[in-house]
A and B are shown apart, each in its own frame.
Chain A
Amino acid sequence: QKEVEQDPGPLSVPEGAIVSLNCTYSNSAFQYFMWYRQYSRKGPELLMYTYSSGNKEDGRFTAQVDKSSKYISLFIRDSQPSDSATYLCAIRKPGGGNKLTFGTGTQLKVEL
């Protein structure tokens, strides 16, 4: 079983839709949870960073962590064509220092 699993998509939605992107992870001891956005032919960039269970909101983006289910989500409200990218979840394991384990990424396309 992979430590972090993510549906690769592609996911296609109309402009203005609410997007839900999800990851599951295998070890309940995992701590820090991040979402990165990667545009085509670019490096990933950090979107959201959470530590505890619950929700964290930043503009149109909400990151949600459910440690009991080992499930993390990223919600995008009022999606825009500029949100079209690949979204990667990342998890930091306890005792792993700065090392992150990444999901495979979900490709999102927001269409006009």
Chain B
Amino acid sequence: NAGVTQTPKFQVLKTGQSMTLQCAQDMNHEYMSWYRQDPGMGLRLIHYSVGAGITDQGEVPNGYNVSRSTTEDFPLRLLSAAPSQTSVYFCASSYSKLNNYGYTFGSGTRLTVV
């Protein structure tokens, strides 16, 4: 099925642990991004990429790293997990020229840091 696939769907981490959230899309979208969604805060942009090898910071990048070695994949790395990173994380992709198809979102990763 065409779309954005995120893994894992759920994860519990201990403070200080690191992990990678995976995101893959099969629509040949150039643009990919990571958001976190917290109650009352809406969706906030963490990092984004306009193509393979090109990434940039969003609104809340601290504590997260990204890389984009292929068009299809855009993993998000948590370097040293903190309770403040407890959130739902969404990966989204789109064509390079945003049009009336907007973003395609994955189904999310629910992360709890204890």
Physical interaction between A and B: yes
User: Which B residues are CB-close (under 8 A) to A104?
Assistant: 40-42
Report whether B103 and A103 are in contact in the complex, using a CB–CB cutoff of 8 Å.
no
Interface size on A, residues (CB 8 A): 23
Report whether A98 and B31 are in contact in the complex, using a CB–CB cutoff of 8 Å.
yes
A51 to B, closest residue via Cβ: B100
Give A48 to B42 CA distance when docked, in angstroms: 18
Q: Count of A-B contacts with CB under 8 A? A: 57
Give A102 to B45 CA distance when docked, in angstroms: 9
Give A36 to B41 CA distance when docked, in angstroms: 16
Q: A88-B42, A103-B42, A104-B40 are in contact. Are A98 and B105 (CB under 8 A)?
A: no
Give the interface segment out of B66-74, B76-84, B90-98: B90-98
Report whether B40 and A8 are in contact in the complex, using a CB–CB cutoff of 8 Å.
yes
